[in-house]
Amino acid sequence: MAYDGKIMRLALQEFEKDKNAREAELRDRRERIFQKQPRLRQIEGELHATMSRIISGALRRGTDPRPAIAALRDENLSLQAEKRELLERMGLPEDCLEEAPACSLCGDTGYRDGHVCRCLRRYYAREQKKELSRMLDLGGQSFDTFDLDWYSDRLLPGQSKSEREQMEGKVYETCVAFAHQFGRRPENLLLFGAPGLGKTHLSAAIARDVSDKGFSVVYDTAAHVFERFETQKFGGREDQETTADVERILNCDLLILDDLGTEMTTAFVQSALYQIINTRLMEKRSTIISTNLSPEKLAQRYTPQIASRIEGEYRLLAFVGEDIRKQKKRREQSR
């Protein structure tokens, strides 16, 4: 699983912010308890002071301090019993003065056995959603809100399936399976069709589900992606932000490249698109390309190598029907 450095930094900031808030709350709670019962402060001080001397002495001698700590616990049973009794009189739990980590797996470090712990992955997923929500309506565009009623169920002459049957049976179900099975094996999708047929909606639904699983997702327009590649190439690698953007595009678990074909197609764009597609295929990273162009038009617009890789390595999903935005506008005007 690849982690986006930019998103991880934001996640770590929030992770540490919450951790510091819990530590501050513990300090305040301890101080309130000590003010109500000063003897508890004395007991805590005695226990910690003795513990510190034993650990320091063991470390100086180069011995394991754990046996001495265990012996200390036995020697201070009376202090511990007094502490429990005082807390009980105050109606407080025995461990209310102790620091209990929010995550028992990693002890609030964020890492476990050299890997990102699930607690930090939750922060990562949350920050990634914020980033994706700048361009996608993750709240409104989900699989549950994808309305197939906008597609005609009439069977036209020469067709074996209606628009709704094609959109549901092939397009919608394929996108749902792609999201639900993400991570098992690399897959790539080409979403093509006229504007207003649901390509962005299903892209957002996939991004939402894949992000919820903790995978890194980058969604961006083709024009902006190519602009970042051009800035990196001709602006110099000393531009750390641009270089980081390019690395995110190439290395994320899922790249959603939107509106391919709306950019000005130059030799550089052809080269950058080939680099993106080929690199991600070689490294077995999934990509979704969304375009208003048919596969035939893409083949005419881009190089044979690009067309070959898309047609050979991507599942081609044709979006059909009438522009949903226009249908909604007509419905509103008729009210």
pLDDT at residue 290 in the model: 96
pLDDT at residue 291 in the model: 95
Q: Output the tens digit of pLDDT for each of the chain's 335 residues.
A: 667 778 888 889 999 999 999 999 999 999 999 999 999 988 888 877 776 666 666 666 666 666 766 666 666 778 888 888 999 999 998 888 888 888 888 888 888 888 888 888 888 888 888 888 777 777 778 899 999 999 998 887 777 889 999 999 899 999 999 999 998 888 999 999 999 999 999 999 999 899 888 888 999 999 999 998 888 877 655 567 778 888 889 999 999 999 999 998 899 999 999 999 999 999 999 999 999 999 999 999 999 999 999 999 999 999 999 999 898 888 888 77
User: Closest Cα partner for 291 from 275, 271, 306?
Assistant: 306
pLDDT at residue 148 in the model: 93
Residue 111 forms beta bridges with which residues?
Answer: 116
First-to-final CA distance of the chain:
50
pLDDT at residue 141 in the model: 85
User: Closest Cα partner for 15 from 137, 150, 106, 146?
Assistant: 106
The encoded tokens of residue 283 equal 């490294």
d(CA 247, CA 6): 11
What is the reported pTM?
A: 0.74
Please report, as a single letter, which amino acid is at residue 227.
E
In the three-class reduction of DSSP (H, G, I as helix; E, B as strand; rest coil), residue 318 is classed as strand
Domains in the chain, CATH or no CATH each: 18-102 (no CATH), 133-333 (3.40.50.300)
Are 38 and 78 in contact by the 8 Å Cβ rule? The answer is no
Tokens 């957002």 identify what position? Answer: 204
